[in-house]
């Protein structure tokens, strides 16, 4: 199951999985693009392993890498609590 984490001003969606038995969390980034459909990338925490990067420039990926690194502690916590909405008791 994937949980919503953040929506950016350009409609980029960042979601994450539950924490897996091995302690890893999948973070999925997806941005709609009228020409190509979607750009996307996957990061696995806590080791910050990136894969399946499609359509993003080096500058965009630098931004996403910083954003995920700065928020990894929250994503890891929420992954154990059923997502941000469950963690906030909504």
Total length of the chain:
90
Predicted confidence pLDDT, tens digits, the chain (90 residues): 899 999 999 999 999 999 999 999 999 999 999 887 999 999 999 999 999 999 999 999 999 999 999 999 999 999 988 776 665 555
pLDDT (0 to 100) of residue 42: 98
Number of structural domains found in the chain: 1
pLDDT (0 to 100) of residue 57: 96
pLDDT (0 to 100) of residue 62: 98
Q: Tell me the helices (H) and strands (E) count for the chain, helix number first.
A: 2, 5
Would the pTM of this model clear 0.75, i.e. be above it? yes
**Structural domain of residue 74, as residue ranges?**
2-87
């Amino acid at each position: 199951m994937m949980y919503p984490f953040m929506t950016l001003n350009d409609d980029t969606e960042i979601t994450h999985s539950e924490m897996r038995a091995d302690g890893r969390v999948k973070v999925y980034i997806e941005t709609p693009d009228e020409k190509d459909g979607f750009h996307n990338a996957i990061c696995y925490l806590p080791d910050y392993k990136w894969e399946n990067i499609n359509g993003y420039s080096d500058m965009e990926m630098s931004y996403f890498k910083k954003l995920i690194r700065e928020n990894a502690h929250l994503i890891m916590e929420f992954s154990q609590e059923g997502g941000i909405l469950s963690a906030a008791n909504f």
